[in-house]
């Protein structure tokens, strides 16, 4: 290593790398959420099936399996399916559009108002935006 250079492991990531890292973290969190949902689904269905078998009543557990199974399938499609990417891309486009549309409001006040920094900060990170 040459003198004056920063080792590779200590460099801060570029802004583009930060975006990719945030995207990967969101993706991993979505996958983890699905697997937790699946494990809970299987555990509850097995428990209910055992309870239903032990009670000797007519089978009703299949209705729980069907209803909740549809939810698990929808969750899987949202996480692993093509629709997930389409929704994600739509969200990114929407954020960019809203950001561009509100950009002038952040830099100039309304006519007839004293010069202040716009938008005016409120509590908890909310802002007054020019409409």
Task: Write down the domain spans for the chain.
Answer: 18-80
pLDDT of 51 > 80? The answer is yes
Q: pLDDT tens digits for 8-39?
A: 555 565 668 888 898 899 999 999 999 999 99
What DSSP character marks residue 59? P
pLDDT of 131 > 50? The answer is no
What is the pTM for the complete model shown? 0.55
> What sign results for the dihedral spanned by CA atoms 72, 74, 78, 82?
positive
- Tally Cβ neighbours within 10 Å of residue 37: 16
Averaged pLDDT, 72-79: 92
pLDDT of 125 > 70? The answer is no
Distances (CA, A) of 43 to 31, 53, 65: 19, 15, 11
């Amino acid at each position: 290593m040459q003198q004056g250079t920063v080792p590779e492991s200590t460099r801060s990531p570029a802004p583009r790398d930060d975006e990719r890292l945030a995207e990967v973290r969101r993706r991993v969190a979505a996958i983890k959420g699905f697997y937790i949902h699946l494990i809970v689904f299987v555990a509850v269905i097995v428990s209910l099936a055992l309870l239903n078998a032990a009670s000797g009543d007519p089978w009703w557990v299949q209705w729980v399996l069907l209803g909740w199974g549809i939810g698990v399938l929808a969750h899987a499609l949202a996480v692993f399916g093509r629709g997930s990417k389409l929704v994600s891309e739509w969200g990114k486009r929407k954020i960019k559009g809203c950001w561009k549309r509100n950009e002038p409001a952040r830099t100039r006040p309304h006519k007839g108002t004293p010069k202040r920094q716009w938008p005016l900060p409120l509590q908890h990170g909310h802002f007054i935006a020019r409409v």
